[in-house]
Structure 1
Amino acid sequence: MSMLSLMVGLLLGSMAVAASITLYRVNLRQSVDARETTQQDVESALAMQAVSSLVMQAGFGIRSVSGPSASADTDIVLLRNAQFVDGVGGRLQAELQSLLATSNGATVVGNALVWSWSPSAQLPDEVWCAGLVSVGGALLHLTPARCASAGTDWSAIDWQVQTIAATRTSSNTTSALAIGTVFSVDPNAGTCAPFSTQIGRGNTTGLVLRLTDFTSTAPTSSASSAERTRSFTSQVCLTNITR
């Protein structure tokens, strides 16, 4: 009887220890997932802020005899299915998307933007191009290079890149992180102006660019399946661009 009681006690103790270990692992996984989610949210917010600042450069200083002349599809182009011809960096190949109003009024989307600007209105022939591209889950800055215009040279420039947001990884092998950043423009959207006001802002015919960063994570339970995909969206009014 003593031996039987001992064996039953050992069995119950082992079950209690196993249950405790399982509970500890679940709590640890939830803690790691929460930390990773918070880190992703911070990275997405910082990336959107950086992108917004960079793309405001589009069309700056592009002038003609009659005044500012930067325009959509010439000094800023939206590209779909953009990728580098060889590795990361170098020339781009993509499908060019028109930013001008179309008959069906559909919003145009892409994974890359290229724009041109002039550092000085007194030097109209000094034009530079730069851009952004989202490939492989990473958001990259196409660093400035001399060009004629974004519309003519986006595929001819040997681009150098800087990483804004790297491909995100997770300790959870069931997670698929960083779908990427999507750029979209409604060609038939109304006019825009900085800080939601048109008073004293001059050109208010600029494009409204929407930046959306998608992140996908596997839910920790069926109850959290709605959190599988999250997105961060911001809008930028490109007041240097006319349509």
Structure 2
Amino acid sequence: MSEFDGAIVVVTGGASGIGEAVAALLAERGARVAVLDRDVAGVRHFAVEADVTDARQVGIAVDAVAAHFGGLDIVINNAGIGAAGDVSANDDDEWHRVLDVNVVGIARVTRAALPHLRRSARAAVVNTSSVVATVGVPNRALYSASKGAVSALTLAMAADHVREGIRVNAVTPGTADTPWVGRLLDAADDREAAASALRARQPMGRLVSAAEVAHAIVYLASPLSSSTTGTLLAVDGGMAGLRLP
């Protein structure tokens, strides 16, 4: 038996990377898992194709999950995209696109889920933010802005819904070994030098794994963490808090 037995969970961006690891871990612990993603081919869980930038698609997808399982208890807002460069590197369209996915996407999914969460005795929302919300990292201006907004949104949502019995938290991962980071490295002039630099900026000297972030998300989602809300949980290899000589 697990505290997740019978819990109904939606994971956005659950077809790959951190989202895939979260979905697998929750299913292993007894949750009934639904994945929302733009491409759900090969997903082993109940899956609905949806783009988080489309409110209509999101509403239909969330309602489909609730209808299929008979409700909804937990939302994992993990869908997101990256961006590289300083403040001048991305045009207005790219700024709007990244913020639309990373920030407004969370609002759309949570808004659609709220009527179902309000009926749950173990309602929780967990958002995926990033260490760059609070730590300045070169060439991540747009991405950092979006994740700073995710962290602020998480705290505001937690305050708005705590008296409804809905907990809201976020994880702030460091540089994780995910497909997006892999694509950044593939585009680098010297892949190994770029990978070494990413590892070196985290005091533990390695990238964070998707599984480690998934365990943190599942901890925050767990009914055993029922007094935890408005928390930003770092999984960053010490990047935000440590200064080593």
The two structures share one fold, judged by TM-score above 0.5: no
Q: TM-score, normalised by structure 2?
A: 0.24
Greater strand proportion: 1
Q: TM-score, normalised by structure 1?
A: 0.24
